[in-house]
Every structure is written in C-alpha cells, then in structure tokens.
Amino acid sequence: MNWDASDTAPDAGPERLVGAAADREDQAVEAALRPKDLNEFIGQERVRQQLDLVLKAARQRGATADHVLLSGAPGLGKTTLSMIIAAEMGVPIRITSGPAIQHAGDLAAILSSLQEGEVLFLDEIHRMSRPAEEMLYMAMEDFRVDVVVGKGPGATAIPLELPPFTLVGATTRAGLLPPPLRDRFGFTAHMEFYGPAELERVIHRSAGLLDVSVAVEGAAEIAGRSRGTPRIANRLLRRVRDYAQVRADGVITQEIAAKALEVYEVDERGLDRLDRAVLHALLNLFGGGPVGLSTLAVAVGEERETVEEVAEPFLVREGLLARTPRGRIATPAAWAHLGLTPPQGGGAGGPGQTGLFGP
Ligand SMILES: Nc1ncnc2c1ncn2[C@@H]1O[C@H](COP(=O)(O)OP(=O)(O)OP(=O)(O)O)[C@@H](O)[C@H]1O
C-alpha cells in the first residue's frame, strides 16, 4: 500500500513510486539500510541531540529509558529510531502495531512477556482499541496491568506486575492521541521532512551499502525528487540504479538520474502522474479554480478520497495547491511548475468563479 501521511487513505495503485508507506520491496531491503546508532542517523539534529541526552542519562542512572513518542509522516525514520533506542540502551526490542492489538488481552500478553528494560515499539499507536489504550496507561505509569478474568458481575481484576520497559510509540497523527496517553510519554519528538542536503547524504550512504556508484550531482537529482522522505529517496535510488545498469555503465550521473526518473514519471519536484493530473485539470480545465473536490476528482478519473488524501497533501505542502472554503485553487507556483501562464484578471481564486463548482 502506498500513500502519503495517512494510514486510512485509499491506495493509488500498486506502482506509486513516490508513496511514503513501505511496499514489499522496501520491507525486504530496508533492514540492510537502517542506520544502527544515533551517529549514523542522518538529519533530525534536534531530535538526535535530545534523544542522546535522554538515553545517556538513563544509562548513567542504570535505569530504563523514559517512554518515547515519535510523531511524523511515514518513511521519516520512526522505526529506525526505535531500533536505535534499543541498541543504544543495549536491550532487545519487540515490534508491534496499534491495529494488531484489538483486545486488552493481546496487550497484556505482550507486556507480561517483556524482559526487563526491553523496548516495546508500538507503531500506529493512535489505532489501538480503547480498552487496550486504557490498559496501556497503567502499564506505562505503574508497570502493572489488571487482567480481567471472567465475565459479567462475576468478573474479577487480577493485578499483574510488569518488568520496567520503555514504550516507543509512533504515530503519523499525534493530534489523534488522547491527552492522557500523550502525557505519559517522558519524551516526545516530532520528525520533520528532510532537506535536500540530508537526503543526498541518505542516498550516498545507501549507495555505499548497495555497492552502487553515484556521482554528487546524481545524488542531488534523486534527492530533489524524494519529497523530503528517506524511504522514497532509497526507493528512487534503486530504480535509478536499474536504469544505470541496463541503459548505461552503472554509474548514476545527474543525466542518468533525470532520464531514469522521467521514465518513472517522477518530475524534478517529486510529483508523479497523479499529482500532475490534478494540477493539469485544475489549471487547464478550471482556470486555476476555485473548483470543488468532487468535480476535480471526476476530471482526473479518480475517487474523491484519492485526490484528497493521496495527491493533495504533497501539493499543499509544496505550495502548489490551496484548500479554501470555496474550493481548490492553484497557486502561482503551480502555473510556473507546469510552464503555463495564469489567465489575465482573475485566474486562481478570481472573483468571477465563485460558486461555479461549489466546494
Ligand atoms: N535519518 C535517516 N538516515 C538514514 N536512513 C534513514 C533515516 N531515516 C529513515 N531512513 C531510511 O528510510 C527507510 C524508512 O525508515 P523507517 O522504516 O524507519 O520509517 P518510518 O517512519 O518508521 O515509516 P513508517 O511510518 O511507514 O513505519 C529505512 O530504510 C531507513 O533506513
């Protein structure tokens, strides 16, 4: 499944090269590409420094590290960081996810089998069921859970002591976490999108591990199309490597990277076919808007949800499209990106178009 910043968004086709969620090939190769310690982890300077302090202090005290909440879009390194936390603390890690824990009993079984100091990585923590979430409050605070035995009036709660552990929760939607859960994390880190220079370093590092030869300009070309996301950078690197191997001498130059990504329809700003179709429709059919989401979706032959949740977040982030109460409008940057001239006296958001298509 490939989509941006939302785990409930619809799929935009299996071959979405710039989707931020991990596909099967990513899962197979990512283990080999993950940085193993904080020094190897590229970018996110502030998070790295803060986490370094939290972990060093815990180690000096001989204590278990505080619970850590990592928030940020898919593919920015939350799973990687959780593994680094365990490695830096010299403890094992157990990995599970919110949707996998539907019953409080599932969580009790995991918690009661943890070793002392172990890291429990709970991905998509905002998607846990409510009873499990409530059990987690007590487990995080008191290292204890109440296991309910029996049903109805005869049900009894048996307290169960847990070994101290470190919960690392990851979420793409920190705002969806109930405050009592959020408050129980000793350290919260928000992961930002990566800058081009950081992505270039990710690409050079991965190229080294994959034994691929990449020129400085080649890495820059891939970085610019990676939508601020290391996972996408690594994926584009693999596709460009294929092209360089089949069509050239294996070396990734700027020209090879640009040609390869043209074949895969990822443009110089990281937009793919769907993103550009939305922009084209908005500019060419609706004069830059405002246009209602449903109309826009019909124009590009996609579901409304696909346009809203798969294409739009990145277009908005890039400042190419704006969501307004009157509908979607294109920004001047969108016209420039597609090499088009905005219509005179109106265009995007022009007064004459109000109400034409309704939001
Ligand atoms: N800071 C970084 N330096 C180097 N590589 C990184 C960095 N962050 C992420 N990566 C690489 O990007 C890939 C995706 O990272 P990871 O699986 O940790 O992301 P995630 O935020 O957990 O994604 P999801 O939310 O989908 O689980 C991994 O292969 C990892 O090696």
pLDDT exceeds cutoff 50 at 205: yes
Which residue type, as a one-letter code, is found at position 253? T
pTM comes to 0.88
The pLDDT tens digits of the residues spanning 102-146 come to: 888 899 999 999 999 999 999 999 999 998 999 999 999 999 998
Q: What is the DSSP letter of 307?
A: I
pLDDT exceeds cutoff 50 at 7: no
What local confidence, expressed as pLDDT, does residue 139 receive? Answer: 95
What local confidence, expressed as pLDDT, does residue 344 receive? Answer: 76
The pLDDT tens digits of the residues spanning 294-317 come to: 999 999 999 999 999 999 999 999
Here the ipTM equals 0.97
Distances (CA, A) of 83 to 17, 189, 337: 26, 15, 39
**Contact yes or no for 293/359 (Cβ under 8 A):** yes
Superfamily (CATH H level) for 34-190 = P-loop containing nucleotide triphosphate hydrolases (3.40.50.300)
What local confidence, expressed as pLDDT, does residue 241 receive? Answer: 97
pLDDT exceeds cutoff 50 at 191: yes
**What is the distance between the alpha carbons of residues 139 and 166, in angstroms, rounded to a whole number?**
10
What local confidence, expressed as pLDDT, does residue 359 receive? Answer: 38
User: Is the shortest distance between the CB of 17 and ligand 1 below 6 Å?
Assistant: no
Question: What is the average pLDDT score of the chain?
Answer: 90
Taken in order 53, 55, 57, 59, the sign of the CA dihedral is: negative
pLDDT exceeds cutoff 50 at 148: yes
**Contact yes or no for 239/260 (Cβ under 8 A):** yes
The pLDDT tens digits of the residues spanning 99-112 come to: 999 888 899 999 99
pLDDT exceeds cutoff 70 at 221: yes
Measured in Å, residue 210 CA sits from the centre of ligand 1 at 16
Provide the pLDDT confidence category of residue 246 given band limits of 50, 70 and 90.
very high
Task: Write out the DSSP string of 227-290.
Answer: TT-HHHHHHHHHHHHHHHHHHSSSEE-HHHHHHHHHHTT--TTS--HHHHHHHHIIIIITTT--
Measured in Å, residue 355 CA sits from the centre of ligand 1 at 43
The pLDDT tens digits of the residues spanning 224-241 come to: 999 999 999 999 999 999
User: Is the shortest distance between the CB of 266 and ligand 1 below 6 Å?
Assistant: no
Q: Where in the chain is the domain with CATH 1.10.8.60?
A: 196-263
* Residue 141 marked in a binding site: yes
Q: Where in the chain is the domain with CATH 3.40.50.300?
A: 34-190
Q: Is the peptide bond before 290 cis (omega within 30 degrees of 0)?
A: yes
Give the rounded distance of the alpha carbon of 181 from its chain centre: 21
Task: Point out the ligand 1 atom lying closest to the alpha carbon of residue 124.
Answer: 25
Measured in Å, residue 87 CA sits from the centre of ligand 1 at 16
**What is the distance between the alpha carbons of residues 205 and 207, in angstroms, rounded to a whole number?**
5
What local confidence, expressed as pLDDT, does residue 343 receive? Answer: 82
Task: Point out the ligand 1 atom lying closest to the alpha carbon of residue 33.
Answer: 31
Domain 273-337 grouped into CATH 3.10.310.10: no
pLDDT exceeds cutoff 90 at 349: no
Residues 251-280 have a mean pLDDT of 96
**Residue identifier of the C-alpha nearest atom 24 of ligand 1:** 74
User: Is the shortest distance between the CB of 21 and ligand 1 below 6 Å?
Assistant: yes
Greater pLDDT, 8 or 298: 298
Q: CB burial class (10 A; 0-12, 13-18, 19+) of residue 61? A: exposed
What residues are annotated to the active site?
78-79, 123, 172, 231
What local confidence, expressed as pLDDT, does residue 345 receive? Answer: 64
User: Is the shortest distance between the CB of 42 and ligand 1 below 6 Å?
Assistant: yes
Q: Where in the chain is the domain with CATH 1.10.10.10?
A: 273-337
**What is the distance between the alpha carbons of residues 285 and 288, in angstroms, rounded to a whole number?**
8
User: Is the shortest distance between the CB of 77 and ligand 1 below 6 Å?
Assistant: yes
Provide the pLDDT confidence category of residue 346 given band limits of 50, 70 and 90.
low
Task: Point out the ligand 1 atom lying closest to the alpha carbon of residue 70.
Answer: 21
CATH T-level fold of 196-263:
Helicase, Ruva Protein; domain 3 (1.10.8)
The pLDDT tens digits of the residues spanning 18-67 come to: 888 888 888 888 888 999 999 999 999 999 999 999 999 999 999 999 99
**Contact yes or no for 265/317 (Cβ under 8 A):** no
Q: What is the DSSP letter of 114?
A: P
User: Is the shortest distance between the CB of 98 and ligand 1 below 6 Å?
Assistant: no
Measured in Å, residue 68 CA sits from the centre of ligand 1 at 17
Q: Which of 71, 74, 70 is nearest to 3 (CA)?
A: 74
Measured in Å, residue 53 CA sits from the centre of ligand 1 at 22
Taken in order 101, 13, 265, 279, the sign of the CA dihedral is: negative
pLDDT exceeds cutoff 80 at 3: no
The residue written with tokens 């969580």 in the block is 107
The share of the chain scoring above pLDDT 70, in percent, equals: 92
In the chain, the DSSP E strands lie at 68-71, 93-97, 119-123, 144-149, 156-161, 166-171, 187-190, 213-214, 251-252, 321-324, 327-330
What local confidence, expressed as pLDDT, does residue 306 receive? Answer: 92
